[in-house]
Amino acid sequence: MRIYEALFCVAFTSYKEVHWIAPIISSAPFGSGIYYVFTSVFTYLVTAYRPIAASAMASNSAMRSSFAAAFPLFAGPMYKRLGAPGAMALLAGLATLMIPLPYAPHFSPPFVMTKLRALGSCSPKLALDCELNLGLRQSDGLSHVGMMIVISRVLGAPLLHGCTS
């Protein structure tokens, strides 16, 4: 069950007429979904920012702490005005509206695709040089894009749109 579905379940089971165990049971999938999101975000941060993983994790912690400090400022009035079902439904609706955000890079401006096509025409040994010439992030050894190019050459199939194998 996805996080937004679990939030809707909690919202629609938090009426006074519904038994108290129903929102508790419906919040279990929400908790497991949040656990998987945190685990994947932490893994991504450590993998993507390997040389500065401590700084990436610290900035993640600072961002989470900022949200944790700001949420009580509006959560109390929101729950008083909308009630528990309305406030939970509002949060579930906001979570539903955020579903397309991870897909936003796929609809990026054309200059990003131009850079990826130029990377695809590079040989694996020159992938790092191509990344540096195109202004992409440098890491120790080959970066993620460079490794994708190397893997695409080994498999004989392009992994990036526009790569030539």
**Does 120 map to a domain?**
yes
Q: How many domains does the chain have?
A: 2
Based on the fold, state whether residues 73 and 90 are members of the same structural domain: yes
Over residues 9-23, the pLDDT tens digits come to: 999 999 999 999 999
Residues 60 and 94 in one domain: yes
pTM comes to: 0.61
The packing angle between helices 53-97 and 21-48, to 10°, is 140
Q: Using one digit for the tens of pLDDT, what is the confidence trace for 100-150?
A: 887 766 676 666 656 655 555 555 445 455 555 555 554 444 455 555 554
Q: Does residue 62 sit in the same domain as residue 143?
A: no
* Mean pLDDT across 5-12: 93
